[in-house]
Amino acid sequence: MHFSILLLVLSTTASAAVVKTGSTCVVTPLGETRVARSIDAIPAGDRDFGESIAELYKSAGAPGALGHYPRPAPSKGSTPPVYVQPSARESTEVSARSAAAAVDDTPQILDAFKQCGTDGTVIFSEGTFNIRQVMNTTALRNCSIEIHGTFVWPADNIQYWLSHSYSVTYAGRSTAWLFGGRDVSMRGFGKALFNGNGQVWIDQNKNAGNQNGRPISLTIWKGTNIFIDGITWRQAQFWHTFVAHSQNVTMTNLDMNTTSHSQYKAVNTDGVDTWNSRDVRIANWTVGCGDDCISVKGNSTNIHVSNITCYSSGGMCVGSMGSNAGQPDYVDNVVFEDVQLYRSSNAAWIKTYPGSGHVRNVTFRNIHFENVNQPIYVTSCIYSYQNCDSSRLAISNVRWENITGTSRYNVAAAIHCSSSAPCTDFSFSGIDIKPMNGGSAKTLCSNIKNQATSGLTCTGPCPGSQPQQLTGNV
Ligand SMILES: *[C@@H]1O[C@H](CO)[C@@H](O)[C@H](O)[C@H]1NC(C)=O
Ligand SMILES: *[C@@H]1O[C@H](CO)[C@@H](O)[C@H](O)[C@H]1NC(C)=O
Ligand SMILES: *[C@@H]1O[C@H](CO)[C@@H](O)[C@H](O)[C@H]1NC(C)=O
Ligand SMILES: *[C@@H]1O[C@H](CO)[C@@H](O)[C@H](O)[C@H]1NC(C)=O
Ligand SMILES: *[C@@H]1O[C@H](CO)[C@@H](O)[C@H](O)[C@H]1NC(C)=O
Ligand SMILES: *[C@@H]1O[C@H](CO)[C@@H](O)[C@H](O)[C@H]1NC(C)=O
Ligand SMILES: *[C@@H]1O[C@H](CO)[C@@H](O)[C@H](O)[C@H]1NC(C)=O
Ligand SMILES: *[C@@H]1O[C@H](CO)[C@@H](O)[C@H](O)[C@H]1NC(C)=O
Ligand SMILES: *[C@@H]1O[C@H](CO)[C@@H](O)[C@H](O)[C@H]1NC(C)=O
């Protein structure tokens, strides 16, 4: 019955922004031209909404985040995602268009979360939402979010982002969107598209990635019971996602691709990093990026990663961590399984600084890859390659099972543990890695305490200076 009320409102307010009915807010993009007529008069195929309002409500079901579980059907619905072809030209055009209109949907988006963010549902209709300001939506409670359209973060206002992005503490990084709360779901049905105009960020970072203020696209921040599903990213500003100070976070059916089309590389465009978080489930992702695909950083516990396909990435990674020797970093209970990797720097690896803390109980299982620079890699002194043997960050109980594929050069595994805290309880089985250009692969190891019983046949020592990526056979 409330549909008719809603339709009335829609048909009488040409630039309807947030329309609230009961505990549900429907948000339509400000930049889209709305025709002031009853939605019923528009043939279904021509409607601004891909689905009728009634359909949107039906998909909302009983409002409330937890009411939406169990898991939604696979996100790749019958409607294919609307890809914004991430060419440099197009990014510029998107920016230019939004500059001309200077349309900013941020106020109405924040308003919708304010009105329906507690015990409610927020529905973003089809169309393009321009997000020109940072968003802090960390006070959500029992809220379902449904996104049917495209979110664009224009990059014609770089100076704004550099000075306004919210700090996420970690390594001085920051974000465009702090997202959290309790019992919150955000579903995109394979239709939601997040476009960060990353090419602009890549070009002005010129192969460096860590410009202060360069924003992470989406940060799950101090969230509990968070469910994110069916969202596509193209050309993210920086890391696609970050999970920090959160627990029980499930992120499924996500599709990310940030690829540079200029002479500059896509650096620091990680798929996800977890930090100071526990009980995180990551499944069914496809990621194309220029950096770590899935990265588990310090103080992450119970992280389960499965069915991930990564292109041109850093693969499955624990770290980097231990950068502050005075502050311990702990990683416990991590599983990476059923992973495919193509053209990656590494596949199943652990990188620590010579710091303190520990990495315990990690499984890399059923990992298959093609053309990976140095597939299995462990270092206690990432990036500096110095003081490796003074690291007190102990790495123990790590399993590599069923790890198969081709290495770019002649190294299958390079493992340098700190002599001050040797690696213990390492176990290898079903390792079959062959150089892509033929010959046999070397396995280099140093300071694995149980080397003799680990199942790994080491062909020589691994120096602390062994780089993360090789430039040729060794
Ligand atoms: C992964 O995708 C498959 C196929 O679409 C689906 O059956 C399965 O439920 C998905 N898993 C999760 C955790 O969403
Ligand atoms: C969650 O919000 C919905 C309304 O959106 C409400 O019906 C439900 O009772 C709420 N659940 C809890 C546990 O408060
Ligand atoms: C974000 O919002 C929360 C809840 O309203 C508030 O406590 C917090 O201070 C805000 N964070 C920032 C960085 O503004
Ligand atoms: C964890 O979050 C999921 C939503 O992703 C929810 O269904 C589940 O009940 C939560 N678990 C606990 C123990 O609260
Ligand atoms: C990512 O996008 C680029 C074009 O921007 C395309 O060439 C590449 O195939 C895409 N990767 C995947 C895995 O779809
Ligand atoms: C793995 O995830 C992909 C999406 O990335 C999905 O198409 C596929 O069905 C999933 N496979 C399984 C076994 O869940
Ligand atoms: C990690 O957790 C430990 C123990 O709770 C804490 O001392 C340390 O500060 C945390 N590290 C970071 C980087 O937050
Ligand atoms: C190791 O991690 C696995 C997977 O997270 C978990 O099931 C198991 O209980 C952990 N073992 C220990 C000793 O904590
Ligand atoms: C090994 O992993 C591959 C995927 O890379 C999988 O198809 C195969 O079933 C796995 N083998 C075992 C014994 O689990």
The domain segmentation of the chain, as residue ranges, is: 88-453
CATH of 88-453 among 2.60.40.1930, 3.30.70.1150, 2.40.50.140, 2.160.20.10: 2.160.20.10
Q: Give the residue, by CA position, lying nearest to ligand 4 atom 14.
A: 225
Do the beta carbons of residue 295 and residue 216 sit within 8 Å?
Answer: no
How does pLDDT run across 138-196, given as a tens digit for each residue?
999 999 999 999 999 999 999 999 999 999 999 999 999 999 999 999 999 999 999 99
Do the beta carbons of residue 195 and residue 151 sit within 8 Å?
Answer: yes
Q: How far is the CA of 67 from the centre of ligand 4 (A)?
A: 11
Q: How far is the CA of 25 from the centre of ligand 2 (A)?
A: 15
Residues in the chain: 474
Mutate to test the pocket of ligand 3, among 110, 114, 118, 136 (most ligand atoms within 8 A of CB): 136
Q: Which of 337, 322, 323, 329 has its CA nearest to residue 301? A: 329
**Sequence-ordered list of residues with C-beta below 8 angstroms from that of 463, at least 6 positions apart, any chain:** 416, 446
Q: What angle do CA 33, 35, 37 make, to 5 degrees?
A: 165
Residue 181 bridge partners (DSSP): 140, 223
B/e letters for 57-85, b = 16+ CB within 10 Å, e = fewer, are: bebbeebbbeebeeebeebbeeeebeebe
The CA dihedral of 137, 140, 128, 61, to the nearest 10 degrees, is 170
- Distances 105 to 98, 117, 136, 154, 220 between C-alpha atoms, Å: 11, 17, 14, 11, 21
Atom of ligand 4 nearest to the CA of 69: 7
Q: Which ligand is closest in space to the CA of residue 182? A: 4
Mutate to test the pocket of ligand 7, among 167, 168, 222, 329 (most ligand atoms within 8 A of CB): 329
Q: Give the residue, by CA position, lying nearest to ligand 3 atom 4.
A: 139
Q: Which residue has the tokens 């499944």?
A: 283
B/e letters for 321-360, b = 16+ CB within 10 Å, e = fewer, are: bbbebeebbbbbbbbbbbbbbbebbbbbbbbbbbbbbbbb
361 close to ligand 8 (CB < 6 Angstrom): yes
Q: Give the residue, by CA position, lying nearest to ligand 4 atom 10.
A: 225
Q: Give the residue, by CA position, lying nearest to ligand 5 atom 12.
A: 288
Do the beta carbons of residue 428 and residue 453 sit within 8 Å?
Answer: no
Phi, psi of 199 (to 5 degrees): -60, -40
Q: Give the residue, by CA position, lying nearest to ligand 6 atom 3.
A: 284
Q: Give the residue, by CA position, lying nearest to ligand 1 atom 7.
A: 74
How does pLDDT run across 25-67, given as a tens digit for each residue?
999 999 874 433 333 333 333 323 333 334 444 444 333 333 2
Phi, psi of 58 (to 5 degrees): -60, -40
The CA dihedral of 235, 238, 243, 244, to the nearest 10 degrees, is -160
Q: Give dist(CA 381, CA 378) in Å, integer.
A: 9
Q: Give the residue, by CA position, lying nearest to ligand 6 atom 4.
A: 284
397 close to ligand 8 (CB < 6 Angstrom): no
Mean pLDDT by 10 residues, the chain (474 residues): 42 61 97 45 33 42 32 34 35 46 91 98 98 98 98 97 98 98 98 98 94 98 98 98 98 98 95 98 96 97 98 97 94 99 98 98 98 98 97 98 98 98 98 97 98 98 98 97
Alpha helix (H) residue ranges in 297-364: none
330 close to ligand 5 (CB < 6 Angstrom): no
CB atoms within 10 A of CB 148: 21
196 close to ligand 5 (CB < 6 Angstrom): no
Q: Which residue has the tokens 């939605």?
A: 39
Per-residue pLDDT at 467: 98
Phi, psi of 169 (to 5 degrees): 65, -55
Q: How far is the CA of 403 from the centre of ligand 6 (A)?
A: 19
- Distances 252 to 63, 199, 280, 306, 363 between C-alpha atoms, Å: 21, 25, 11, 10, 20
136 close to ligand 3 (CB < 6 Angstrom): yes
Q: Give dist(CA 171, CA 326) in Å, integer.
A: 15
Do the beta carbons of residue 280 and residue 249 sit within 8 Å?
Answer: yes
Q: Give the residue, by CA position, lying nearest to ligand 9 atom 8.
A: 366
Q: Give dist(CA 381, CA 355) in Å, integer.
A: 9
Q: Give the residue, by CA position, lying nearest to ligand 2 atom 8.
A: 64
**Sequence-ordered list of residues with C-beta below 8 angstroms from that of 308, at least 6 positions apart, any chain:** 282, 283, 284, 285, 286, 287, 293, 294, 316, 336, 338, 339, 340
Per-residue pLDDT at 290: 87
Atom of ligand 2 nearest to the CA of 142: 1
